[in-house]
């Protein structure tokens, strides 16, 4: 990655994914719900390999739902 903007976005997405995983782990929800949320984060990770801006958008929506008290279960 020679583009500093791409490198910075990649680092931001990676850090936010790490934080989101920690938040999901700390949620007081069923194991099934945590598994579903973790799967969504894994999809974001896979998306980042092909389309980093889209992954950043998906992750932002996921985190916004968590912030608003609506775990994104679907």
Residue 44: C-alpha distances to residues 2, 28, 62 (Å)? 23, 22, 10
| pLDDT(74) > 90 | no
* pLDDT score at 11: 95
Per-residue pLDDT of 6-56, as tens digits, reads 899 999 999 999 999 999 999 998 999 999 999 999 999 999 999 999 999
User: Which ranges in the chain belong to alpha helices (H)?
Assistant: 4-26, 31-50, 52-67
Task: Indicate the pLDDT class of residue 71, thresholds 50, 70 and 90.
Answer: low
Number of alpha carbons in the 13 Å side-chain half-sphere of residue 38: 13
* pLDDT score at 70: 81
Task: Indicate the pLDDT class of residue 60, thresholds 50, 70 and 90.
Answer: very high
Q: Burial of 38 by CB count in 10 Å (0-12 exposed, 13-18 middle, 19+ buried)?
A: middle
């Amino acid at each position: 990655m020679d583009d500093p903007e791409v490198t910075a976005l990649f680092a931001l997405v990676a850090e936010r994914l790490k934080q989101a995983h920690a938040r999901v782990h700390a949620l007081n929800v069923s194991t099934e719900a945590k598994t579903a949320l973790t799967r969504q984060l894994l999809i974001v990770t896979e998306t980042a390999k092909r389309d980093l801006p889209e992954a950043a958008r998906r992750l932002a929506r996921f985190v916004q739902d968590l912030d608003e008290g609506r775990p994104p279960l679907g």
